[in-house]
Amino acid sequence: MANKIDAAIPVPDQYGQFWVFSGNHWVRIALKDGQPHGDEVVRGPGGFDEWPSLQGFDHVDAVIPVPNEHSQFWVFSGNQWVRISVTGGEPHTDTVVLGPGGFDQWPSLAKF
């Protein structure tokens, strides 16, 4: 059982569904009425071995949607990042668009 949520990614073609990450595990949930008691597990829990674009990561710290790219996300783990794309339709497949890389390759983040 998760004791904390690290990050979440919206499922591109499924309104109200999210992949939620805790440590090196994930679960896909559907929020039925926007309330915790109205959710259900759609898939999972699973491990990062099911996310090819996250290979080498042992956790996800944060996710930022890429502006103007509906199904692309910046994923951060420690001092590493990767830009991924998640396809619509079942099964949702993920691929690396850019990276992975370190903060030294991202000028505004290299200041940290």
> For residue range 50-79, what is the model confidence (pLDDT) as tens digits?
999 999 999 999 999 999 998 999 999 998
- Residue 45 in any domain: the answer is yes
Domain that holds residue 12: 7-105
CA distance 87 to 42: 17
Its pTM stands at 0.87
Which CATH number covers residue 22?
2.110.10.10
What size, in residues, is the chain? 112
The domain tally of the chain equals 1
Note whether residue 2 is domain-resident: no
Tokens at 95, concatenated: 């691929």
- 72-105 per-position pLDDT tens digit: 999 999 989 999 999 988 888 999 999 999 888 8
For 66, half-sphere exposure in the C-beta direction (CA atoms, 13 angstrom radius) is 17
Residue 14 in any domain: the answer is yes
